[in-house]
Structure 1
Amino acid sequence: MLKKLMLLAALMLPTCFAHAHEYKVGALEIAHPWSQELPPNAPTVAAYFVIHNTGSTADRLLGVDSPIAGIAQLHEHVMQNDLMKMQEVPSVEVAAGGEVKFAPMAYHVMLLELKDRSLLSDGKRFPLTLHFEKAGDVTVEVAVQKKAPDAAVEHVHAQ
């Protein structure tokens, strides 16, 4: 009986971790915040996640901040004159019943003036606070990974 309980606990452990990487504030759900591990001399790092709005009214991401960076900005990639460029945006709307994906080559959070590089290696996590117009603030833990999750890669190739 003890072996069966241990096996059941081992099988359920990944499920616990999967749910631990989702956050909720008001009608908004923030799923799998992540960042890719960068070389030690990289001057900036990007953070990604998906925001789901389960509510009946739109909300707006007004900004972000993190103790690991002096500056945190909302960015998007846009095509200008046949050239893909990254530009800062003042806010990002999350439609009622909709979702916004922060992914490579799409919306993303840019962290500049990095203060604590020790948290930017594979397996580490760092805090990121998202400031929403209606739902308020929520702090998420961004998981640093060696490579992009498969869903993020698929999103980039789909665009």
Structure 2
Amino acid sequence: MKHFVQKLATLAITSALLAAAPLSQAHEYKLGQLEIGHPYARATVPGQPAAGAYLSIENKGSAPDRLVSVSSPVAKSGEIHTMAMEGNVMKMRELDGGLEVKPGQKITMQPGNGYHLMLMGLSKPLQAGEKVPATLTFEKAGKVEVTFNVEDRNAAAAGKDDMKDMKGHMHH
């Protein structure tokens, strides 16, 4: 009996995970051979001049491409940044010439490591639950319109907080 219950529990968890999967899958964009996944931006506080924005880019083609710019109506400018440890100091700098995505490569931007986008000179604070339109420009593939979902600063990028968060946004 115990074995059966265990199997049942595993089955329930698996189907719950499968049911949740399409939710996160829906937020993707295709541009030629490039796939852009789950663009999101961090909520900001009043007076904060810039917001970090994140997404993943996968190159399914056979030629490299590069993200050369990002722009959004809510910001004066967009920049592509890299973060690297230099000694014990985290240095953030703008990438000259954009971000190359090699064939077969997937770059996943996350807070606190590697690459991210900065929306500079915000016209107003970004609030959790908002959707921010943006245009990504690639050297070869051209332009694609995406929507950054603004997420709470404290929420994990993708985790148990997502479901809790969604419930919270239902009554607005």
TM-score, normalised with respect to structure 1:
0.79
Unaligned runs of 5+ in 1: 1-11, 152-159
1:98 is aligned to 2:98: no
Equivalent position to 2:119, from 111, 122, 144: 111
Unaligned runs of 5+ in 2: 1-17, 160-172
Please say if residues 43 and 112 of structure 1, whose CA atoms lie closer than 8 Å, have aligned partners that are also in contact: yes
Aligned to 1:18, the other structure's residue is in SS state helix
Q: Distance in 2 between matches of 1:14 and 1:99?
A: 23
Structure 1 moving runs of 4+ over 2 Å? 12-20
Paired-residue identity, %: 40
Equivalent position to 2:64, from 31, 35, 58: 58
Q: 1:67 to 1:50 in 2, by over 3 A?
A: same
Please say if residues 68 and 139 of structure 2, whose CA atoms lie closer than 8 Å, have aligned partners that are also in contact: yes
Q: Distance in 1 between matches of 2:117 and 2:24?
A: 22
Please say if residues 54 and 110 of structure 2, whose CA atoms lie closer than 8 Å, have aligned partners that are also in contact: yes
Q: Distance in 1 between matches of 2:75 and 2:25?
A: 27
1:5 is matched with none
Q: 1:21 to 1:150 in 2, by over 3 A?
A: closer
Q: CA deviation at 1:81?
A: 3.5
2:131 is matched with 125
TM-score, normalised with respect to structure 2:
0.73
Q: Distance in 2 between matches of 1:135 and 1:107?
A: 20
RMSD between aligned residues: 2.0
1:33 is aligned to 2:39: yes
Residues 72-101 of structure 1: per-residue CA shift (max 9 Å, x gap): 111010122331110000210101011112
Q: CA deviation at 1:39?
A: 1.6
Please say if residues 59 and 103 of structure 2, whose CA atoms lie closer than 8 Å, have aligned partners that are also in contact: yes
Aligned to 1:47, the other structure's residue is in SS state strand
